[in-house]
């Protein structure tokens, strides 16, 4: 078993689906982290040590489709996104990292950057544009 007192590399599984009815050509995604949960109970949420995502954890989901767009109902998988913990001192472990996946809808409600264009549409359901997962950093 790997531990974060060494260098602990983990695959981050990300699947992105278009739940809407319009093919999207510009679908930026990114992953960010926060040390948010005091899992070791010492009164602070500071003990997550080093948390580093690989470059593939940021990109454009449309480009992951064979034809360059994310069609209605289409699902694409991100390949090569990893998160590396450590090497950490034991004292810098024990709390939990909250990983946040953010998908940007590049329409009238999008932002440039990370969007490269504005297709004029609006995301009818912004509630599914983020996903979170908590991971405890083991010593
Ligand atoms: Ca703590
Ligand atoms: Ca602490
Ligand atoms: Ca497609
Ligand atoms: Ca949405």
Domain residue spans in the chain? Answer: 8-136
- In order of 24, 39, 83, the CA distances from 57 in angstroms are 19, 25, 9
Q: How many residues are present in the chain?
A: 139
DSSP secondary structure string, 109-135?
T--TTT-S---S---S-GGGSEEEEEE
Enumerate residues with CB within 5 Å of ligand 2 (an ion): 42, 44, 46-47
Q: For residues 47 and 3, what is the distance between their CA atoms, to the nearest angstrom?
A: 14
Distance 31 CA to ligand 3 centre (A): 22
| Ligand number nearest to the C-alpha of 136 | 1
| Ligand number nearest to the C-alpha of 17 | 4
109-138 pLDDT, tens digit each: 998 999 998 999 999 999 999 999 999 999
Q: What is the pLDDT of residue 1?
A: 59
Distance 20 CA to ligand 4 centre (A): 8
Distance 137 CA to ligand 2 centre (A): 12
| Ligand number nearest to the C-alpha of 67 | 3
> Residue 29: beta bridge partners?
59, 103
Q: What is the overall mean pLDDT for the chain? A: 96
| Ligand number nearest to the C-alpha of 16 | 4
**What pTM, to 2 d.p., does this model score?**
0.94
């Amino acid at each position: 078993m790997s531990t974060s007192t060494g260098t602990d590399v983990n695959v981050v599984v990300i699947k992105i689906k278009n739940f809407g009815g319009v093919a999207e050509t510009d679908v930026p995604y990114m992953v960010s982290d926060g040390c948010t949960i005091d899992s070791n109970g010492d009164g602070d949420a500071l003990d997550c040590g080093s948390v580093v995502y690989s470059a593939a954890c940021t990109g454009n989901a449309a480009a992951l489709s064979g034809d360059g767009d994310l069609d209605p109902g289409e699902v694409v998988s991100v390949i090569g996104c990893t998160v590396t913990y450590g090497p950490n001192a034991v004292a810098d472990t024990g709390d939990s990292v909250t990983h946040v996946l953010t998908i940007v809808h590049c329409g009238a409600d999008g932002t440039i950057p990370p969007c490269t264009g504005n297709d004029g549409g609006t995301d009818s359901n912004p509630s599914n544009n983020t996903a979170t997962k908590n991971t405890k950093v083991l010593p």
